[in-house]
Amino acid sequence: MNIANRIDCLGTETAFAVSAEAAAFAAKGNHVYPFHLGDMNLPTPSTVVEGAVKAMRDGKTGYCPNAGIPQLREALAENISNSHGVKYGMENVAVQPGGKPVITKFIQAVMNPGDEVLYPNPGYPIYESQIEYYGGTALPYGYKENEGGFAIDIDAIENSITPKTKILILNDLQNPIGAEASPEEFKRLAEIVREHDLMVLCDEAYFEIRYSGKSQSFVSLPGMQERCVILYTFSKKFAMTGWRLGAAVGPENVISVIAKLNVNDESCSNHFNQYGALDGLTGDQTEVMGLLDVLKGRRDAAINALNQIEGIHCVTPASTFYLFPNVTGAMANKGFTDYDVFRKAVLEATGVSFCTRLHFGRQLEGETERYIRFAYSGIDIDQIEEGIGRMKTFLES
């Protein structure tokens, strides 16, 4: 059977390939410290679980409205309106089977073949994959490391824009680097968006995975609400990665198209899961806040251990559950020049499994520093300290 030509344009999430390598290494009897995949080993709050179980027992196991049950759409609209300082109604919300479908449906809804789309690199690899799969031209923009973390290379964005540029993908509180835009960055980006009449996908998957300060949304800036679609997911805040539930939130004309795509793709999101998520949103938040406390402890343990390794330095992000340590010195000290050789050598010598910068996009012109990504959402503190301790011994030997 012949495969369609367009499949050649479809990328993948290469972190899963690293996961498969780690699993094969473990199958040989080795101990693995899993820093590679942003899954969670924390329990979903009981409010969500009990709400979903009750819904199943109440017969909520058939089809439901393709845009989501009205109660959840209303609750999401109210929740995001309050946190973002804007006004949404249920007509602005389309429930999705996870956050990832928002990316592909947004692109299908607003991008024509030949349009150019600005996307972050390093960044979530599905952006580039979906842009190219649907016939767009992917324009990467990067970040510059500074004392506080990473700043968007806004000059690169401005220099990339042509009359064909139609969309900006903005992932503030970013995977993999944990970058958070400053008010000044947001202001400049808003000026660019207005000047070039761009639509914006605001990927806010980690908006509420926050350990200090308060998250700000690009949507809240003057004139941006009507240009932006928010990617919302239950996976992170409620430890629901396997439940596959999220939402697209934005202008009604775009959301109605996304809801129509729901009909064509999956009919509707899981019925009883939506009732569980509804109880999670509106119920007691004690367990939800407890998840944040656990993640913060893991972040601090990982940061402390990594910064004790010669040739590695890592800033402390206020959000996400990822670290993006600079390992330029450590690689040089051990004589490594290739990311993949370095990664596999560390795995085989220590059992520590992680992704590298190359799992989140091609290196940009002029890049000289080397980075790896550590996800700490699926590994306990004792294993974090033990694994990074073994890595330290290997890298400093």
Residues 318-343: pLDDT tens digits?
999 999 999 999 999 999 999 999 99
* Residues 205, 85 share a domain: yes
Given 268, 285, 302, the domain boundary residue is 285
Mean pLDDT, the chain, whole residue set:
96
Judgement on whether residues 86 and 97 belong to the same structural domain of the protein: yes
Q: Both 13 and 60 in a single domain?
A: no
Range of the domain at 347: 5-43+287-396
Domain count, the chain: 2
When pLDDT is cut at 50, 70 and 90, the band that residue 37 belongs to is confident
Domain boundary among 266, 285, 304: 285
109 lies in the same domain as 247: yes
| Residue 109 predicted with pLDDT over 80 | yes
pLDDT over 90 at 141, yes or no: yes
Query: Buried (b) or exposed (e) across 3-27, using 16+ Cβ within 10 A?
Result: eeeeeebebebebeebbebbeebee
Residues 175 and 268 in one domain: yes
DSSP code per residue over 314-364? ----SBSSEE--B-HHHHHHHT---HHHHHHHHHHHH-EE-EEGGGGSPPP
| 96 & 199 share domain | yes
Q: Which of 207, 227, 209 is nearest to 217 (CA)?
A: 207
Please give the angle made by the CA atoms of 69, 74 and 77, to the nearest 5 degrees. Answer: 125
Q: Do 116 and 106 share a domain, yes or no?
A: yes
Residues 301 and 387 in one domain: yes
Q: For the whole model, what pTM was predicted? A: 0.94
Do 31 and 79 belong together in one domain? no
**β-sheet bridge partners, residue 373:** 355
Q: Are 344 and 234 contained in the same domain?
A: no
What percent of the chain clears pLDDT 70, i.e. is strictly above it?
100
CATH of the domain at 35: 3.90.1150.10
Average pLDDT over residues 78-105: 97
268 with 352, same domain: the answer is no
**Residues 374, 225 share a domain:** no
pLDDT band at 153 (very low <50, low <70, confident <90, very high): very high
